Each structure stands twice: as structure tokens, then as C-alpha cells.
Amino acid sequence: MTASFVRGSSFSELSQTPDLPASNEDSDERTGLATDEKERIIGGVEASIAAFPYVVGIRTGLVETEDFYYFCSGALIDPEYVVTAAHCTEVPDLYVSIGSQYGSGPGEDNGKEIRVIKASQHPNKVMT
């Protein structure tokens, strides 16, 4: 199995539900929507990098120039490969950020910013 280990842990070990704190979502009584932008994912809570080390952010542009845009996420399945949705590979100049809380860049010592060399799509993909 090519993708059986990530940072010394197997996917079966990583896929166990982490112990996360309960959400303290404040919501608008009229709409039921979260009023705090950090709480906009339903039932979402702050997650530690250690709980999901294989999750990556996919974006265009460079963080250093502040000319970038995150638009997709993916999962590291091998030291050199990320799996994501097909539409995420249709944009030129792609970068992957891994190992940092809010994307790699200034102030993110542990994160890595990696330029995508080749993006491929499944030959039988169907866009609907």
C-alpha cells in the first residue's frame, strides 16, 4: 500500500474521531446562522493540526505577495501526491499548503508551501 503511512501514523489511526471541544456557537435568532465567522461550519470547532496532519489547502498565487486565493482542500495520500476534486485542478499556478493552521506564510514556522508540478484528472471524470 503506497499511502499507508503519514508522518509515522497509519490512515486507520488518523481516521479515528479526535477528541474535540464542544462548539459554543452563537447564532442569529432570526436566521439560525452563526454570528461569529469562526463558527460558520455547522457543528464546527477549532481543530489542531495534529488531529488532521494529512489535510492540505489548495490555492493559487503566492502568500508572500499577498496575491493568493484558497479555493479547495485535499488529502495527502503519499509524500508526493494529494487527492482532491477534479474541478480543483483546472486552475493554473497551484500551490499546496500543509502543516500550518491558517496556510503557510509569514508567522507560520511549521508549514510548508509546495508548488504543484503536475495536476491530473481521472480519465472518466464527469462534471455535472
- Quick check: helix, strand or coil at residue 49? helix
The reply to whether 88 and 110 lie within a common domain is yes
Same domain, 75 and 121: yes
As beta bridge partners, residue 74 has 56
Could you report the per-residue pLDDT of 89-110, keeping only the tens digit for each? 888 888 888 887 655 544 556 7
Same domain? For 15 and 42 the reply is yes
**What is the domain-level CATH number for residue 84?**
2.40.10.10
28 and 75 fall within a common domain:
no
Same domain, 63 and 117: yes
Task: Give the separation between CA 122 and CA 85, rounded to whole angstroms.
Answer: 10
Q: Which three cell numbers stand for residue 114?
A: 509546495
**Residues 58, 6 share a domain:** no
Q: Domain range spanning residue 116?
A: 54-128
Shared domain check, 41 and 4: yes
- In this structure, are 24 and 68 located in the same domain? no
Mean per-residue pLDDT over the chain, rounded: 69
Residues, the chain:
128
Task: Tell me which DSSP letter residue 115 carries.
Answer: E
The structural domain count of the chain equals: 2
Express each pLDDT in 65-85 by its tens digit.
666 677 888 999 998 899 999
Based on the domain organization, do 74 and 96 belong to the same domain? yes
Are 7 and 58 in a shared domain?
A: no
Q: Is the pTM of this model over 0.75?
A: no
